[in-house]
Amino acid sequence: MAVPVTPLAGEKIARFAAMLGQKEQAPLARFGAVGYVLKAMYADSVQAVKNFHVRDDDVYIVTPRKCGTTWTQEMVWLLMNNLDFETAMKTNLLQRSPYLEVARLVPDDVKKEILKNVDMVENSDHLPSPRCIKSHLTKELLPVQLWTKKPKIIYVAREPKDTAVSFFYHEQLFTSFSGDRDFFFECFYEDIVAYTPLWEHMLDFWKMKDEPNILFNTYEEMKKDLPDVIRRTAKFLGKSITEEQVARLAEHLDFKQMKQNRAVNLEDTLAKIGRTRDDKGEKGFIRKGVVGEGRREMSPEMVARFDERTHRVFNEKVGGCPWKI
């Protein structure tokens, strides 16, 4: 069945687009039943990704953007590869854990400079098993064989306000977004920013959290007790790990270490496309890594709107929520 695609248009959308860098001012569209916003050009790639050949021993890391994806990728890849820290430190994470749909969505300069014009969908088909593959797509847009072969899927969610704040700074860095944060949060809430709606993306996987092939983690759990998340994830993957190894992996995954690790922090990538973080750390792919920033950076009115939607989507629809609201 074809995925419905609806062009995104309107005065506010045009205002938002005008605040992006010239290379990022591509038309957007809503994809699928939840209306997931992506660049309209992705319409040419929907079926190629949905038809991607899934292997039984694959591990998929599926998250909305800015929810701890890189953190989780590094943890999972190391657990799957006998804690090979040497290889992890010298090999870019994108090579070790491919981002499935990325080549179908990025500007040509990024595709050329960073991806070397490699299509991750085609290239991933030739990677040795077991593969550790990342995606930001919604349930409906992911490869259909995920739901028949049922490989392991690790999903990571993050409290919506914090996600929106992190996304705001991400867009400043990657798309040169020049608007103010209040306007960004408003557009994020109204689902006219790329990779929204956030709530419905998370809800689909929250409903599946008890499936034996799905592990549902949260960013907040990783911040509160990373060793416990490491143990839980290792068990899910069927990997034995000693307490000494848990401590070593937790040290490697410490936020300060990740921020300095050039294999994961994208600083080389950003330099190639003319983007740099500032000295205060406000801009950078790995930025602050804190919990509760949304409540501090949003207006009380916007906090209330975000919290009401979280309650409505989770508590009212399924009678449970990953966070206390």
Catalytic choice (53, 126, 136, 170): 136
Instruction: Retrieve residue 160's tokens.
Output: 């919506």
Q: At how many degrees (to 10) do helices 69-80 and 226-237 cross?
A: 50
Q: Determine whether 140 is exposed, middle or buried from the number of CB atoms within 10 Å of its CB (0-12, 13-18, 19+).
A: middle
**Residues 57/129, Cβ–Cβ less than 8 Å:** yes
Q: Determine whether 278 is exposed, middle or buried from the number of CB atoms within 10 Å of its CB (0-12, 13-18, 19+).
A: exposed
**Strand residue runs (E) in 139-290:** 152-157, 214-218
Taking alpha carbons only, the member of 155, 146, 148, 106 closest to residue 273 is: 106
Which residues fall within 8 angstroms of residue 15, CB to CB, at 6 or more apart?
179, 183
Asked about 311 being catalytic, the answer comes back as: no
Question: Any bridge partners for residue 38, and if so which?
Answer: 29
Give whole-number Cα distances, 117 to 42, 47, 132, 139, in Å: 16, 20, 21, 27
Dist. CA 65–CA 158, nearest whole Å: 9
Per the document, the length of the chain is 325
User: In one letter, which amino acid is 304?
Assistant: A
The SS3 of residue 31 is: strand
Helix (H) or strand (E) holding 271: helix 267-272
Give whole-number Cα distances, 169 to 59, 185, 293, 298, in Å: 29, 11, 12, 13
Helix (H) or strand (E) holding 149: helix 146-149
* Catalytic annotation, residues: 136
